[in-house]
Structure formats: C-alpha cells, structure tokens
Structure 1
Amino acid sequence: MMLNLLKRQIVMKHFYFSQFSKYSKMDRNNFFNLLLPSIPPLDGTHHKGQAGRIGIVGGSLEYTGAPYFAGMAALKVGADLVHIFCSNPAATVIKSYSPELIVHPLLDKLDAIKEISPWLERLHVIVIGPGLGRDPKIFNVVSDLIKLISEKQIPLIIDADGLFLITENPELIRNFTSPIILTPNKIEFERLSCKLNGLTGLQELNKNVTLLRKGMTDEFYCFNTDLEWKNKEAGSGRRCGGQGDLLSGSIATFLHWTIASREKINLDIPVDKMLLATSLSCFAASSLIRTCNAKAFQVKGRSMLATDMVEYIHEAFTELYGQ
C-alpha cells in the first residue's frame, strides 16, 4: 500500500510541475486576439445549424440535470441546435426542462448504435458524459459509439462518467485523429494521472488528446507546451453541481467555431492548427463560465446554483467578447 502511495505521489509531482517549464505563447491578450475572429458575426449571413450542431451523450434515470446544463450552455453560447442522446427513463424529464433541446431516448435500446449513427453525420462536436451514469450496458453502447465517432473524425469532449469509462479503458481514445478534450475535476484528474502515468502517458497514448483540469485554477495541458495555460481569473468559492456541465457544453460550441476558423488563426510560431483551436476553445469556455460563476455568486452567494449561472451567460459573453 505504501509503495502504491509513493508511486502515486511521484506521478502527480510529474503531472503538476513538469509541464510549465517553457514560456507559453498563450497569454490572455493573445488569446482574445486569436479567438475573436472565430466568433460568428450576427449579421444574418449564416443559415441555421452553421453556428453549431452539438451532440450531448448522457442522461440517466438519476441524472437528468447534467445533460440539460451542457446543452443549454452550448445553445446560449451560440450553437444553433443541440441533440441529447440519453436513456429512455431520462428523456421525458429532460424534454420537460426545455423545448429547445432535441432529445433522443436511444442509449438503452437494443439497436442503439444503429439508431444513433445517422444523427452523427449532422453533428459538429460531441460531448460524452454529463449525467451518463455507470450502467455497464450503457457503457458498452458508449464504448462502441466512441469507436464510431473516431471513424467519423468528429471532435469529442469527454466529461464526468465518460472520464470514468476512459480511465477504465484508455484504449478507446488511442486511435483518434480528431481532437479529444478530457475535462476532469480534481478526483477525476488523480484517477487519470495514476492510470496513464501522468501527462507523459497521455501523450504516448495519443497526441491529439488534450486535458483541461478544472479547479480553483483551470489548467490546460496538450502535446505542445507552447499552447498550455492556466486561468484563475474570476470564479468563486461556490462549488455547486452542474458547473462542469456548463463548461463542457460551452467548450463544444467554441470548439466548433475555432476549428471552422482555424486556417485564419495564426500564432507567431508553427503549431498544429487543431491543437491551437482546442486550446483557444477551452480558454474561451473557462473564462466565460468562471465569469458567470463570479456574477451569479455576487448576487446569490451561498445559495448560487448552476441554474443561476445560466442566466449570466449572455452578460458574461458580451463583457468578454463584445458581441
């Protein structure tokens, strides 16, 4: 037991301290200068769906709020359409929360992959995990779904119980050529780092995998240390449920925008444009949700809920990005 504890401490020391030795090009002003041109203008030139068609895979009998928060964040940031793929017991409840969400009760069907597959062609980015639960049968379906998403090269964000699945079976994301963003909190981060031998193991698994560690300070890690950053602006001490779901949904919309505009985004050093787009999208969403958190906390204090934060997305977006 002591040997395992020592190994864990060594892994975590490597993970925390070795990745910021280089000077990062991603300072705050540079972020905003790079990001702003990717935000679709509200000038009437876009058709419905062009600003983002997002898929959320999650929602179970016990957890119906998480996919709702992820979906509403994606929409309020600026995506046009959100599809939620959930288990049957969760569908009616999620639909009752909002008429804007397109809800598919397919995860627990016998032919789930066959039913879901045609919808994937329509989606720009997929989020797996909010409210997913840990039913082994659902995990089998989601594992097959991840393989299909990999084949179709759709950008993927993995959060919550999706991270538990990946920690149990990291091979699911080994062959991805499209961007993958893992969004662990402190406990999820520790599980991943111990399983994968820190960031080195993650990079050896797949250089397209990036990681946004959520906490008092949000930290972004990727294959290119020039694109890494830390963000501790705004936020509050309130840690109510749903904040991570708001973050994952926000990342999804920003990720579509930055990928679609990646050839227009130029850093003063040669970088992989997909990694740059991923770094920008995570920073944009981190800044937005932390600002929402600060604004809602100023009004609600200890009583603040994720629902309160949703109401500040527009105000925070306008304050940060000016449109």
Structure 2
Amino acid sequence: MDNNSMIKLVQSCIPPLDGNSHKGQAGRIGVIGGSMEYTGAPFFAGISALKVGADIAHIFCTSPAATVIKSYSPELIVHPLLDQPNAVNEISPWLDRLHAIVVGPGLGRETKTFEIVSELIETIKRKNIPLIVDADALFLITHNLELLKDFQSPVILTPNKVEFERLCDKVNGQSGLNKLGKNIIVLKKGSMDEVYCAISNAQWKSNVGGSGRRCGGQGDILSGSIAIFLHWTLSNVDKLNLTYSMDRTIIAASLSCFAASLLVRTCNEKAFKIKGRSMLATDMIEYIHISFQELYGQ
C-alpha cells in the first residue's frame, strides 16, 4: 500500500464529529506508567491520545507520581495504584472500560514494578485488550518474551534504535521478529519509521516529515496517538476497503501505527520550523490539531 491509499483507509475509520456519539465512545485509553523520577512520559502519552480525539484517558502510576501528573492537566484521570500491595486487583476492574492500553511510559525498572506490570500484561491478555508496549516495558518484554505468547488482541511494540537492536539480539535477528506471534507488530522508530509483522502486506516504511531534533517525549506522544488510532481502526475494521484477502486485524494495527507515525512526524516538522533546537515535546502537542486536519481532513 502506498501512503495515499493508507491515508484513505485511516480516514474511513475516523469517527465523525456529527453529534451522534456519547462520551467515551470515541475512545477510552489507559496508560500504565509513571514513577517518582518520570512523570512527563505518561502525561505526554495520555494528553496526546486526548488531543488526537480520545474522550477519556486514565493514567495508572505510582503514588509519588500521581499528584505531579494531576498538576499537568485536569483532563487526565490519575490512579496512584501501581505501587500498592494489591495493585493488580485494584487496577484490573478499570481495564474492562478501556479500548486500548499503553504500558511503559515513565515506568522505571524497579523489580517490584516489573512484577506487577507482568501480572497486568497477563490480565490484559486474558481480557483481549489491544496493547501498545513502549519504553521500560519494552525492556521487560525483551527479557521475558513469554509475556507475548498467545495474545489474541493486537500488541504493538514501539522500540527506538537501541531497543530494536536489543530485541533483535533476543530473537536472533530481524527475521525473528515475525515469529513473535501472529498478532504482534513491531514499529521501529527512527529517521525512517518501519513496521515489521508476520504479514508482508502490512509492512511499511515512512520518512515523511520529522526533523533532526530528537527531544524527549516524542515516543510517548507516538504511543498515545497509536492507542486511539488503534481503537478507531479496530472498531471500523469491516469498513476497510481492501483489494486483497488478509487478516484485517493486523491491517488495522498496522494502519494505526502508520497514522500515528505520520501525525507525530508532521507535528515534529512543524514545531521544528518554529522552535528549531529549542523544540520540546510540549511544542509538538500544540500542532496535533492542525496536522490532523491537514492529513485526515477532520
């Protein structure tokens, strides 16, 4: 598929703003992450999902991070549960409300946190909730690939260059990525964004937009954007006008990566033209609306 064809497929999945939907229908996104040291990452993921078009965003973080994240935005629903003794039992009922979950932004690498997140990933698997794995959760997954086994819902891994190399070493090269599971997609981030998965027709590369500025937080904006696009593409998978027969779930997941990648790279390009070396992730967020309109027309 070329870029124009993929953009048209994405457009067919975007819910119209016609006043006929109720709050939450356009997307309820969850972010599992946020620790005492890292509070910005889960904020960027959650607020980006909202800015792209989600109705509600929940952040599940540790207690020291909660008040800080709340202070960034009143729009985010923040749950200081990730470090509680009964964290999995406390968080699990909330997961049933969510259309897609991002795990990893600002998570940190505390052993106890990884144990809780591992249990939550197993819970997400049982509940068949689409999952995006980013940042420190990629470190966890790479060292315990069994967590990906038997996922029936789409799982999107979003490694940067170093994380991608670490993952490839674990699976004996790039060819091993296609064997992670039929519902597993790897989006390698960089000067060229690339998707790897078990179905060749769902793979793509894109270097549209972007800049030489690699500010912290850009990956978090991407993961939050993927989450809401993933909900939209999966919800409208039957509307995809495909000229060939293949797994529509994988196509939907691949399209969500493409849509978010193109959007975030466009935001990066626009913000860089104004801010240059001073550009920050917060500057990119300001360009989500205009970039979305230019690309998808809504």
CA distance in 2, matches of 1:173, 1:223: 14
CA apart distance, 1:201: 2.4
| Structure 1 position 49 matched with structure 2 position 24 | yes
CA distance in 1, matches of 2:46, 2:203: 27
| Structure 1 position 207 matched with structure 2 position 146 | no
Q: Corresponding residue for 1:17?
A: none
Q: Corresponding residue for 1:90?
A: 65
Q: Give the secondary structure class of the aligned counterpart of 1:38.
A: coil
Q: Corresponding residue for 1:39?
A: 14
Choose from 130, 134, 147 the match for 1:159: 134
Deviating above 3 A after TM superposition, structure 1's stretches of 4 or more consecutive aligned residues are: none
Q: Corresponding residue for 1:73?
A: 48
Structure 1 gaps of 5+ residues are: 1-25
Query: Which amino acid in 1 is paired with 2:123?
Result: L
Mapping of residues 248-267 of structure 1, within 5 Å: 248-267=223-242
Question: Is the Cα contact below 8 Å between 2:106 and 2:135 reproduced in 1?
Answer: yes
Q: Corresponding residue for 1:179?
A: 154
CA distance in 2, matches of 1:113, 1:285: 30
Report the structure number with the largest CA radius of gyration.
Answer: 1
CA distance in 2, matches of 1:159, 1:166: 10
Q: Give the secondary structure class of the aligned counterpart of 2:177.
A: helix
| Structure 1 position 28 matched with structure 2 position 3 | yes
Q: Corresponding residue for 1:281?
A: 256
Q: Corresponding residue for 2:117?
A: 142
CA apart distance, 1:205: 3.0
Question: Is the Cα contact below 8 Å between 2:230 and 2:253 reproduced in 1?
Answer: yes
CA apart distance, 1:199: 3.7
Q: Give the secondary structure class of the aligned counterpart of 2:43.
A: helix
CA distance in 2, matches of 1:266, 1:147: 33
CA apart distance, 1:110: 0.4
CA distance in 2, matches of 1:145, 1:196: 24
CA apart distance, 1:127: 0.3
Q: Give the secondary structure class of the aligned counterpart of 2:112.
A: helix
Query: Which amino acid in 2 is paired with 1:95?
Result: K
Q: Give the secondary structure class of the aligned counterpart of 2:284.
A: helix
CA apart distance, 1:188: 0.2
Q: Corresponding residue for 1:306?
A: 281
Choose from 127, 132, 138 the match for 2:107: 132
CA distance in 2, matches of 1:94, 1:320: 30
TM-score (norm 2): 0.99
Q: Give the secondary structure class of the aligned counterpart of 1:39.
A: coil
Query: Which amino acid in 1 is paired with 2:80?
Result: P
| Structure 1 position 268 matched with structure 2 position 248 | no
Q: Give the secondary structure class of the aligned counterpart of 1:47.
A: coil
Choose from 119, 139, 143 the match for 2:94: 119
CA distance in 2, matches of 1:201, 1:230: 18
Identity %: 66
* Per-residue deviation, residues 108-155 of structure 1 (Å, max 9, x unmatched): 000001000110110000000000000000000000000000000000
TM-score (norm 1): 0.91
CA apart distance, 1:267: 1.2
Question: Is the Cα contact below 8 Å between 2:179 and 2:198 reproduced in 1?
Answer: no
CA apart distance, 1:202: 2.9
Choose from 82, 87, 109 the match for 1:107: 82
CA distance in 1, matches of 2:35, 2:29: 19
CA distance in 1, matches of 2:273, 2:288: 15
Q: Give the secondary structure class of the aligned counterpart of 1:132.
A: coil
Query: Which amino acid in 1 is paired with 2:285?
Result: V
CA apart distance, 1:203: 2.8
Question: Is the Cα contact below 8 Å between 2:211 and 2:269 reproduced in 1?
Answer: yes
Query: Which amino acid in 1 is paired with 2:241?
Result: N
